[in-house]
Homo-oligomer: A and B are copies of this chain.
Amino acid sequence: MKPLKPEIVLTGDRPTGKLHIGHYVGSIKQRLISQAEYQTNYLMIADMQALTDNAHDVEKIRESVLEVTYDYLGCGIDPEKTTIFIQSLIPELTEFTVIYMNYVTLARLMRNPTVKSEMQLRDFGNTVPIGFLNYPVSQAADITAFNATLVPVGDDQLPMLEQTNEIVRHINFHFETNILKECKPILSQVTRLPGIDGNAKMSKSLNNCIYLSDDRETVSKKVMSMYTDPNHLRVEDPGTVEGNPVFTYLDAFDPDKSELEEWKDHYRRGGLGDVKVKRRLEKILQAELDPIRERRAEYEGKANQIMEMLLESSKKARIVAQENLAKLKSVLGIDYQDMY
C-alpha cells in the first residue's frame, strides 16, 4: 500500500436535496480518489451555508442532511477515512466567519466573480441577503478552521479560494504569524453534466436530474426520455454529438472510450438511432448505480445509526476547529484566560 500524502482535504455540499449523477461525476468520484490518497479528509454537510439562500425552507435542509449522507455512503465514502460532519454542529465556524468579516471589504465581496454570477442567477441585486453575499468569507472559515491545504473545486469556484488565501495572507502578515495555511485547488476534470432535458444545469426545480437514489425503472425512464439532437429525426440522418446530453453522459460514464468514439463517428455519419445510444447509456449507468443503490438502501434502513455517526464525527471535527480557533484568537489577542 502506498503511504497516504500528508495533506488535509476539505469539501462539502449544501444539503438542499438528494444528490444526482452530476454530483457523482463532479465531486464524489474525486472524493473517493482523495480518501484513498490523502491522510485527512473532511466532508462538510453545509447546512448553515444552505440557509443563506434557503432561509425560509429549513425543513428541506434538515431532511437533506440524512439523504445526502446516504448518498455519500452509498457511493463508497468511508467514514473511517473521511470525516463527514454537519456544519452547524461546529459553532466555531461562525466565530471564524465573524472574525474574518473584519478583514474583507464590501467592495471585495461585490467584485468576487462567483458571488456576482450566483447573485445574477438568483436575480438578487441589492436585495441579496448579507449572509449570502458573505459566503466567500464563510468558506474561508470552513477551510481554515481545519487547516485544509487542498480543496477540490470546479474552476468557477476558484475565486473562493483566492478570497480564502487573501484572508490567510493578510492575517499572517499583519500578526506576523504563519498560523493560517494557504490552500490549493484540486481542479475537477469533468465538465458539469447537463440536465436530461438538455438544460445546462441539473436542478431539482427543473426536474431534470437522475438521482443516485432513483430506482432502476426511474433511471430507465429518464434515460429514454432524454433530450438529444433535435435535428436527428430519422435513424439515417447525421446527428450531432457535441452538446448532445446522451453523449455528454457517455463521456462521463462509458469505460470503453475507443468504442464510444466509434459510436460517435457512426452517429455523426447517420445510421445510429437515439434509442440504441440511450440503451447503451442506460446499461452503463445502471451498472454504475446498482451497487450504490444497494448500499444506499441498506444505510437508509439504519437512519438512527447514521445520524449517530454524523453526530460523533461532527464532534471529532469540532475538536480540531476548536483547537485552531483557540490558536487564532490567541494570535489576534482575543483571549483573556492568560490575563490573570
Hey, which bits of chain A sit against chain B, CB under 8 A?
A: 47-48, 51-52, 55-56, 58-59, 61-62, 65-66, 86, 88-89, 91-92, 94-95, 97-99, 101-107, 109-110, 125-134, 137-138, 174, 303-305, 307-308, 310-311, 329, 332-337, 339-340
Q: Which of B51, B61, B105, B138 contacts A129 (CB 8 A)?
A: B105
- Residues of B near A336 (CB, < 8 A) are 62, 65, 86, 89, 307, 310-311
Query: Which of B88, B310, B340 interacts with A303 by CB under 8 Å?
Result: B340
Cβ-closest chain B residue relative to A138: B98
- Chain B, Cβ-Cβ closest to A137: B130
- In the complex, which residues of chain B have a beta carbon less than 8 angstroms from the beta carbon of A61? 333
Q: A91-B92, A308-B340 known; 20 other A-B pairs, CB under 8 Å?
A: A51-B102, A55-B102, A58-B333, A59-B333, A62-B333, A65-B336, A66-B339, A94-B94, A94-B95, A94-B97, A98-B98, A98-B131, A101-B134, A102-B129, A102-B132, A103-B129, A106-B128, A107-B125, A109-B130, A303-B339
Asked if A99 contacts B311 (CB within 8 A), the reply is no
Most buried by B among A66, A99, A130: A130
Task: Check if A334 sits within 8 Å of B58, measured CB to CB.
Answer: yes
A101 to B138, CA, bound (A): 12
Q: Quick one: copies of this chain in the complex?
A: 2
Known: A94-B94, A336-B307. A126 touches B107 (CB 8 A): yes
Q: How far is the CB of A11 from chain B (nearest CB, A)?
A: 20
Residues of B with C-beta under 8 A to A133:
106, 130
- A305, closest chain B residue (CB): B340
Known contacts A94-B94, A334-B47, A334-B51; A126/B99 CB under 8 A: no
CB contacts (< 8 Å) of A58 on chain B: these are: 332-334
Q: Which residue of B lies closest to A48 (CB)?
A: B98
Are A88 and B51 closer than 8 Å at their CB atoms?
no
Instruction: Write the nearest CB–CB distance from A133 to chain B, whole angstroms.
Output: 6
Residue among B66, B126, B138, B174 making CB contact with A56, cutoff 8 Å: B174
From B110, B130, B340, A304 is in contact (CB under 8 Å) with: B340
Q: List 7 A-B residue pairs with CB atoms under 8 Å apart, sorted by A's residue number.
A: A48-B334, A51-B102, A58-B333, A62-B333, A88-B334, A106-B127, A107-B126
* A92, B337: Cα distance in complex, Å: 18
Q: How far is the CB of A6 from chain B (nearest CB, A)?
A: 30
Instruction: A228 to B66: give the CA distance in the assembly, Å.
Output: 71
A72–B267 alpha-carbon span in the complex (Å): 82
Chain B hits for A138, CB < 8 A = 98
Q: If A58-B332, A133-B106, A332-B58 touch, does A307 touch B339 (CB 8 Å cutoff)?
A: yes
